[in-house]
Amino acid sequence: MLRPNENNLRAWQAAVLVVVLLAWHLFSRNEQTAFFIGEPVKVMGRIWSWFLPFGMEPNLLFPEGLPGRADIYQHWA
């Protein structure tokens, strides 16, 4: 049986992250549930536009593209 130890701890952490994100995505497919817990793809897009100064062209995940405003840094001044 595989158990977390010093040699495979990062693999376990990555696996737990993937499982949590996958469960979040699956639960958010219901509109009522998504209202309360959000949608991981939309959250990722919002974080992108908050922190990165360059945009993303329209693609499969973001059909309208993403603006890259990096407006979170304005609040530090």
Tell me the pLDDT tens digit for each residue of 2-61. 788 888 899 999 999 999 999 999 999 999 999 999 999 999 999 999 999 999 999 998
**This prediction's pTM:** 0.72
Inter-CA distances, 17 with 14, 26, 59, 61, 74, Å: 5, 14, 24, 20, 31
**How high is the pLDDT of residue 76?**
62
Closest CA to 72 of 56, 55, 53, 44: 53
pLDDT value at residue 27 = 96
HSE-CB for 68 with a 13 A CA cutoff: 7
